Amino acid sequence: MVRLRSGHGVANLGVASALTLFLGACSSFSLPSLSSSSSPPPASEPGVAPEMPATIRPDEIVGRWGLASYQNPADRARTEAAAKGQCKQPYVIGAGSSGGVIMHLADQATPQELRLKGSPSGKNFIGPPGPTPSEQDREIVSFDGRVLITRFVDKDAATRYGNMVYVRCAPRA
Protein backbone atom coordinates (compact mmCIF):
# COMPACT_ATOMS: atom_id res chain seq x y z
CA MET A 1 0.00 0.00 0.00
CA VAL A 2 1.34 3.45 -0.93
CA ARG A 3 0.95 6.24 1.60
CA LEU A 4 1.13 9.80 0.40
CA ARG A 5 2.03 12.39 3.01
CA SER A 6 0.97 15.54 1.26
CA GLY A 7 -1.78 16.86 -0.94
CA HIS A 8 0.79 17.36 -3.71
CA GLY A 9 1.49 13.63 -3.76
CA VAL A 10 -2.19 12.89 -4.27
CA ALA A 11 -2.41 15.50 -7.05
CA ASN A 12 0.72 14.14 -8.74
CA LEU A 13 -0.67 10.60 -8.57
CA GLY A 14 -3.95 11.80 -10.10
CA VAL A 15 -2.13 13.58 -12.94
CA ALA A 16 0.05 10.52 -13.60
CA SER A 17 -3.04 8.29 -13.72
CA ALA A 18 -4.82 10.64 -16.11
CA LEU A 19 -1.75 10.82 -18.39
CA THR A 20 -1.46 7.03 -18.41
CA LEU A 21 -5.10 6.69 -19.49
CA PHE A 22 -4.73 9.43 -22.12
CA LEU A 23 -1.55 7.97 -23.60
CA GLY A 24 -3.06 4.47 -23.60
CA ALA A 25 -6.04 5.79 -25.54
CA CYS A 26 -3.73 7.57 -28.00
CA SER A 27 -1.91 4.36 -28.88
CA SER A 28 -5.09 2.91 -30.33
CA PHE A 29 -6.09 6.12 -32.09
CA SER A 30 -4.29 7.29 -35.20
CA LEU A 31 -4.34 10.77 -36.63
CA PRO A 32 -4.07 11.33 -40.37
CA SER A 33 -0.58 12.00 -41.59
CA LEU A 34 0.19 15.59 -42.52
CA SER A 35 3.19 14.67 -44.67
CA SER A 36 2.97 14.90 -48.45
CA SER A 37 3.99 11.30 -49.07
CA SER A 38 1.03 8.98 -49.04
CA SER A 39 1.66 5.53 -47.72
CA PRO A 40 -0.87 2.73 -48.00
CA PRO A 41 -2.89 2.05 -44.89
CA PRO A 42 -1.60 -0.84 -42.80
CA ALA A 43 -2.98 -4.20 -43.85
CA SER A 44 -5.72 -5.43 -41.59
CA GLU A 45 -5.42 -8.83 -39.98
CA PRO A 46 -6.97 -11.54 -42.10
CA GLY A 47 -10.28 -12.73 -40.76
CA VAL A 48 -11.36 -16.31 -40.38
CA ALA A 49 -12.42 -17.64 -43.75
CA PRO A 50 -16.03 -18.70 -43.96
CA GLU A 51 -16.68 -22.40 -43.55
CA MET A 52 -16.52 -24.33 -46.79
CA PRO A 53 -19.32 -26.80 -47.41
CA ALA A 54 -18.39 -30.46 -47.12
CA THR A 55 -18.91 -32.84 -50.03
CA ILE A 56 -20.83 -35.09 -47.62
CA ARG A 57 -24.24 -33.94 -46.41
CA PRO A 58 -25.26 -34.35 -42.75
CA ASP A 59 -28.30 -36.46 -43.71
CA GLU A 60 -25.91 -38.99 -45.30
CA ILE A 61 -24.39 -39.87 -41.93
CA VAL A 62 -27.42 -39.55 -39.65
CA GLY A 63 -28.47 -42.99 -38.44
CA ARG A 64 -27.47 -46.05 -36.42
CA TRP A 65 -23.87 -47.27 -36.69
CA GLY A 66 -21.77 -50.11 -35.35
CA LEU A 67 -18.51 -48.63 -34.05
CA ALA A 68 -14.98 -49.99 -33.61
CA SER A 69 -11.45 -48.65 -34.15
CA TYR A 70 -8.04 -49.74 -35.33
CA GLN A 71 -4.48 -48.43 -35.29
CA ASN A 72 -2.86 -50.72 -37.86
CA PRO A 73 -4.24 -50.33 -41.43
CA ALA A 74 -3.89 -54.10 -41.87
CA ASP A 75 -6.67 -54.49 -39.26
CA ARG A 76 -9.25 -52.48 -41.22
CA ALA A 77 -11.28 -55.43 -42.64
CA ARG A 78 -11.36 -57.21 -39.29
CA THR A 79 -12.38 -53.97 -37.56
CA GLU A 80 -15.23 -53.37 -40.04
CA ALA A 81 -16.58 -56.84 -39.19
CA ALA A 82 -16.26 -56.07 -35.47
CA ALA A 83 -18.07 -52.75 -35.96
CA LYS A 84 -20.95 -54.50 -37.76
CA GLY A 85 -21.26 -56.79 -34.74
CA GLN A 86 -21.79 -53.71 -32.55
CA CYS A 87 -25.16 -52.94 -34.18
CA LYS A 88 -26.80 -54.65 -31.19
CA GLN A 89 -25.77 -51.51 -29.30
CA PRO A 90 -25.46 -48.91 -32.08
CA TYR A 91 -23.83 -45.52 -31.92
CA VAL A 92 -26.56 -43.11 -33.03
CA ILE A 93 -25.63 -40.05 -35.08
CA GLY A 94 -28.59 -37.70 -34.82
CA ALA A 95 -29.67 -34.72 -36.87
CA GLY A 96 -28.89 -31.39 -35.25
CA SER A 97 -31.37 -28.52 -35.01
CA SER A 98 -29.04 -26.19 -36.97
CA GLY A 99 -28.26 -28.50 -39.86
CA GLY A 100 -25.37 -30.37 -38.26
CA VAL A 101 -25.07 -33.80 -36.67
CA ILE A 102 -25.13 -34.85 -33.01
CA MET A 103 -21.89 -36.65 -32.09
CA HIS A 104 -19.29 -36.72 -29.32
CA LEU A 105 -16.08 -34.71 -29.34
CA ALA A 106 -12.98 -36.51 -28.10
CA ASP A 107 -13.13 -37.14 -24.34
CA GLN A 108 -16.60 -35.57 -23.97
CA ALA A 109 -19.39 -37.56 -22.31
CA THR A 110 -22.19 -35.45 -23.77
CA PRO A 111 -22.80 -35.38 -27.51
CA GLN A 112 -23.30 -32.00 -29.16
CA GLU A 113 -24.16 -30.59 -32.55
CA LEU A 114 -21.18 -30.60 -34.88
CA ARG A 115 -20.81 -29.36 -38.45
CA LEU A 116 -19.65 -31.14 -41.57
CA LYS A 117 -16.99 -28.83 -43.00
CA GLY A 118 -14.97 -28.84 -46.20
CA SER A 119 -11.44 -27.57 -46.69
CA PRO A 120 -9.40 -26.06 -49.53
CA SER A 121 -7.52 -29.39 -49.77
CA GLY A 122 -10.78 -31.20 -50.55
CA LYS A 123 -10.86 -33.08 -47.24
CA ASN A 124 -14.02 -33.23 -45.14
CA PHE A 125 -14.16 -32.75 -41.38
CA ILE A 126 -16.69 -33.11 -38.56
CA GLY A 127 -16.35 -30.64 -35.71
CA PRO A 128 -17.56 -27.50 -33.99
CA PRO A 129 -18.05 -24.32 -36.00
CA GLY A 130 -14.82 -22.48 -36.73
CA PRO A 131 -11.64 -22.79 -38.73
CA THR A 132 -10.97 -26.05 -40.53
CA PRO A 133 -9.26 -28.13 -39.44
CA SER A 134 -9.30 -27.35 -35.75
CA GLU A 135 -7.85 -29.51 -32.97
CA GLN A 136 -11.38 -30.69 -32.04
CA ASP A 137 -12.24 -31.80 -35.58
CA ARG A 138 -12.10 -35.30 -36.93
CA GLU A 139 -11.13 -35.87 -40.54
CA ILE A 140 -13.37 -38.07 -42.64
CA VAL A 141 -10.75 -40.49 -43.99
CA SER A 142 -13.27 -42.35 -46.17
CA PHE A 143 -17.00 -42.69 -46.68
CA ASP A 144 -18.88 -44.87 -49.14
CA GLY A 145 -22.40 -44.58 -47.73
CA ARG A 146 -22.08 -47.83 -45.76
CA VAL A 147 -18.71 -47.42 -43.99
CA LEU A 148 -17.48 -44.15 -42.48
CA ILE A 149 -13.89 -43.90 -41.22
CA THR A 150 -12.74 -40.87 -39.24
CA ARG A 151 -9.58 -39.86 -37.40
CA PHE A 152 -9.21 -37.04 -34.87
CA VAL A 153 -7.01 -34.10 -35.92
CA ASP A 154 -5.55 -33.75 -32.40
CA LYS A 155 -2.52 -36.07 -32.35
CA ASP A 156 -3.10 -37.21 -28.76
CA ALA A 157 -6.77 -38.06 -29.43
CA ALA A 158 -5.82 -39.72 -32.72
CA THR A 159 -3.32 -41.93 -30.89
CA ARG A 160 -5.84 -42.89 -28.20
CA TYR A 161 -8.86 -43.47 -30.45
CA GLY A 162 -7.20 -44.58 -33.69
CA ASN A 163 -9.21 -44.78 -36.89
CA MET A 164 -12.88 -44.82 -35.94
CA VAL A 165 -14.87 -47.23 -38.14
CA TYR A 166 -18.63 -46.72 -38.36
CA VAL A 167 -20.60 -49.43 -40.21
CA ARG A 168 -24.20 -48.59 -41.02
CA CYS A 169 -26.65 -50.86 -39.21
CA ALA A 170 -29.51 -52.44 -41.12
CA PRO A 171 -32.84 -50.71 -40.62
CA ARG A 172 -35.00 -52.20 -37.90
CA ALA A 173 -37.60 -54.62 -39.20
Q: What is the DSSP string of the chain?
A: -----SHHHHHHHHHHHHHHHHHHHHHT--PPP-SSS--PPPPPPPPPPPPEEPSS-HHHH-EEEEEEEESSGGGHHHHHHHHHHGGGSPEEEEEPTTSSEEEPPTT-SS-EEEEEEE-TTS-EEEESSSSSS-TT-EEEEEE-SSEEEEEESSHHHHHHH-EEEEEEPPPP-
Please say if the pLDDT value at position 80 is more than 50: yes
pLDDT in tens, 49-77: 567 999 999 999 999 999 999 999 999 99
Q: Given this model, what pLDDT does residue 51 score?
A: 73
Mean residue pLDDT across the chain: 81
Name the residue ranges covered by the structural domains of the chain. Answer: 52-168
pLDDT in tens, 7-39: 554 444 444 444 444 444 444 444 444 444 455
pTM summary value: 0.70
